[in-house]
Amino acid sequence: MLDPERAILAINGLTKRFGVRQPWILRTLSPRPRRFVHAVEDVSFSILRGTTLALVGESGCGKSTIARCIAGILSPTAGSITFADAGIAAHGNRQNLQMIFQDPYASLNPRWRAGRIIAEPIVTHGLISSRADVERRINELLSLVGLAPQDARKYPHQFSGGQRQRIAIARALASEAPLVICDEPTSALDVSVQAQILNLMRRLQLRLGLTYLLISHNLAVVAQMADTIGVMYLGRLVEYGEAKTVFARPLHPYTRMLLDAVPDATCVHRRRQPMRGEVPSPIDPPPGCAFHPRCPFANARCAQELPRGIMVGKTSVACHAVEEGRIESAVRTP
């Protein structure tokens, strides 16, 4: 699954657990062992240079936790994060890594003008010392994302949602980072604006050779952007492979249900498997395969034994039913 020679980022066995503290009175009256939220469990993948890897899944599956561990916002409980052949922790300023957040208004300082926001990574990392050169670089970045140089003097509230996200993208490009983490970058925008931002991101990727880690629950966005897709369920990676292959021939039952939940007017005669049940608690996950309480193909082995990833063609899938051939091959017509 890992390709260290071409990978700009490699994740191996990443695990993140959060401790759950009971109220003081409960700890005093009825002491119990400390409990943990199993946010991410033993996740491994790599991102090849100049490509886009998308992590998809329901809310709470661990996508954003992985992104925050890579960005250094959270410290992993276990596992390794290797960036360009060196532990990412060794890059104290993380100049080679930038992040675009979900809400562009919340991620921009409302008291700063757009020019100062974009200049922050340049000044922080000491990339340019001359004030005139910094202003020239700000104007270049504004033009690169489709804004005017005079917009540098405006405050975030003077822009639309799409324009604010363009400023956030310009800030991410300011340090010339080769890897950009995009955490739901279009979910807070109108549909028409979403398309503009996605097209901008694709153009910038081709022009600058950027690598994206895309966090999204919107499969339409993923289909447009991703080269590789990782499907997550309750903190674990259940399917991982080329995006076009996963969309055309989904293997894991959960992946099939996610795709079946997407409205498609061209497939009115195809049977769909509805999503059923609720996501189990990450504090007390079920034994065996975490998806087995909701899976129509589950058997006794699924309820007892944790599935490990196996290769089916070029796709890695963690599913006993696939391993044992209990699921018929699914082919989705575009």
pLDDT digit string, tens, across residues 39-93: 999 999 999 999 999 999 988 899 999 999 998 889 999 999 988 755 454 444 4
Domain limits for position 244: 7-96+178-323
Q: Is residue 199 over pLDDT 90?
A: yes
pLDDT at site 217: 86
> For the chain, how many structural domains are there in total?
2
pLDDT at site 97: 87
Task: Please check whether residues 16 and 83 belong to one and the same domain.
Answer: yes
Task: Please check whether residues 243 and 188 belong to one and the same domain.
Answer: yes
Structural contact between residues 253 and 327, judged by C-beta atoms closer than 8 angstroms: yes
pLDDT at site 22: 73
Q: How much is the mean pLDDT over the chain?
A: 87
Q: Is residue 266 over pLDDT 70?
A: no
Task: Please check whether residues 74 and 161 belong to one and the same domain.
Answer: no
Residue 39 in any domain: the answer is yes
Domain with 205 in it: what CATH number?
A: 3.40.50.300
What is the model's pTM? 0.88
| Domain endpoint, select from 127, 152, 177 | 177
User: Each residue of 177-191: pLDDT tens digit?
Assistant: 899 999 999 887 888
User: Is the backbone of residue 316 left (phi > 0), alpha (psi -120 to 50) or beta?
Assistant: beta
Name beta bridge partners: 253: none
pLDDT at site 89: 45
Residue 281 in any domain: the answer is yes
Q: Give me the percent of the chain exceeding a pLDDT of 90.
A: 60
Lowest mean pLDDT segment, chosen from 26-30, 97-101, 196-200, 265-269: 265-269
Give the residue, 33 or 297, on which the prediction is more confident.
Answer: 297
pLDDT-based confidence at 94, cuts 50/70/90?
low
User: Each residue of 207-235: pLDDT tens digit?
Assistant: 999 999 999 988 888 999 999 999 999 99
What does DSSP say about strands 179-183 and 310-312: parallel, antiparallel, or unpaired?
unpaired
Task: Please check whether residues 82 and 208 belong to one and the same domain.
Answer: yes
Residue 203 in any domain: the answer is yes
Residue 334 in any domain: the answer is no
Strand blocks (E) in the chain: 7-20, 35-48, 52-56, 78-83, 86-87, 97-100, 179-183, 211-215, 228-233, 236-242, 310-312, 315-317
